Structure 1
Amino acid sequence: MALPAELMPVQPQHRFDEGMLSAYLQANLADFRPPLTVNQFKGGQASPTFLLHSPGQNHVLRKRAVAKKGSTLVESIDRDYALISALHAAGLPMGQPKLVCLDEAVIGTPFYLLDYVQGRHFRDPNLPGMDAKQRHAIYEAMARAMAQVHELDPLALGLPANGTGSDYLSRQVAALVQQYNANRTEDIGAMTRLLDWLPANVPQDGMTSLMHGNFRIDNLVFHPSEPRVVALLDWDVAAVGHPLADLAINCMPYRVTIPGMGSLQGIDFIDTGIPGEHDYVASYCTARGLEGIAHWNFFLAFALFRVAVMAQGIYKRGSERAPATPTVKAYAAVVRSVANQAWNLVDGGDD
């Protein structure tokens, strides 16, 4: 039987003893009954994710291939599970946490288990196959879901997220500057100026919230038939940070085209029903009761700079192999075009 589009057989580098896992679940998970079938979700190489099917039950298993900086794999998984549990208890749409296993003897690494949430998973932000009304409703639902995340009080909930919030932007900019300089392969005037401008122009507005950090439409699960988010996925880089940085990162499909990922550049927003960036941001502001956004160009420049730094890292690593693939070469063009766009937002002038 063919697997659904989001699933694939477990990849060789991520295989584990499924018999050991089945025995562990029989002993530790109420109502679990063998036989157990395991498939892997596509993507997520740093945190591979698997669908576990057993009679009458579907669960998601998540483990880590790489620990968070400064943590062991056990500490990373334990922290991830504590965060997911706190978010579920706070009422965010999440699969119900079922158990965490820190014993590496079971499958070779620590892992945690959630209930699988059935729904629609969109990888292309253009939402092909939908009509204009449906697309508009999906984007409205995404804006509301992000606002719901940002309305949570991390301190009151005791969320074990990274960061202290108030200095999030300064720390992120400093880290990105260091990362770019370590991977620099050529001089790009716009990028050089951004390296100086961003640290000197961080807004001091005092806004803090829980940040998802990678709030993209493909990290959301929507109700099977309604325009409603039923699960928020991929909390690996969640932090106590700045909500508008999260929003700007979410808006990147409006601004950039990255190899292998969807883009909203050049589409007809009226014909497709997808809200333009201004209208989408307005929906988010309405959901949060905000009258507007100060320093929006800074947040967009920050998010674009983040994309450029990541693309530069991919290009540097890929170009060290011989020969570099066309996709790797395309990332060099992404760095230059995105850097120019970011600099145009704050000053102007292409390089």
Structure 2
Amino acid sequence: MKIIKQSLLIVMSLAVLISCKNYNSINTKELSLKKSYKDKFYIGTAINQRQIEDNNSLESSLISKEFNSITAENIMKSMFLHPKEDTFNFDLSDKYVAFGEKNNMFIHGHTLIWHSQLAPWFKLKKDSLEMAVAMESHIKTIIEKYKGRIHSWDVVNEALNEDGTLRKSVFLNTMGKEYLTLAFKWASEADPNLDLYYNDYNMTDLKKRQGAISMIKHIKEQGVKIDGVGMQGHWHIDTPSIEVIEQSILDYAALGVKIAITELDISVLPNPWGLVGAEISQRFENNKLMNPYPKTLPDSIQTKLADRYNDIFKLFLKHQDKISRVTFWGISDKQTWLNNFPIKGRTNYPLLFDRELKPKKAFYSLLELPKNN
């Protein structure tokens, strides 16, 4: 009986140690995400200004240990990088690139042409020639600044409506659909060795997928280089289905382009009115039904999230020959934009590390997966 009690105490002590295990307590010789997937595809994360400036040693340690690719969350969008037509702010982007180089990472640029978070002066361009001159200067100045240091770019971001038609942005309104082809042309002229991507959300939806395929075919038919599609993974714990994600990967790969899974996070919260995607202009009211886990995530949902990530990454490994990069949109639940989208003040849990940077079940579910796939 005494032996049984001692055994139970040992088991309970181990359980407590495991449950309290945080990132710093992980042996540096243990597996990391980037080590587990090193022969498969890059494992990336988006980093914010605080992380770029290396203001938190624990976060910096986690980023350098777990990831071998980075994306700038916000600082390279035009309103920050090119706020006035004659003014570029390269201070933070210089630090971003230096951070990636210091940690021997694949460095991705996000994003050159986007209708949102747009520098206001772009909107003053009223005809096609003015806009073309502005776009070409913007694209080539930034790419040439980091030539040979940034390895790939989202050249155009979110140019499609949900029905697959082109979004009526200031670029489309002034230049017509050829602004897309020209953006990729100017980017490739500035650095022929770059990987050039079109990036968008809801790229698994049939109509939007068809629109993206048509767009990419058109660009390629003009003899212009486009290397890949960024499928934003702003997905839900239940949707889209694995079958739909797989068909989307196959459809894009059939175009002869690479697939990057970008902005990956899995929301565990209810979607108001069935909202999908990442249209940041949409906002809704907060209430208890929309914010069911304000303090902590129940174990049952933790397990469901881990299973969802496991199923998704099994699919990625199945198609590893088509996938160049998988990038999480942030490093922890504390950082995630989903705490405020599409409803401000909610508590979401979409990433692999919790608010204290402790690894979640979802993290451990992915570590050993490549060994058997």
TM-score greater than 0.5 by the shorter chain: no
Normalising by structure 2, we get a TM-score of 0.28
TM-score by length of 1: 0.29
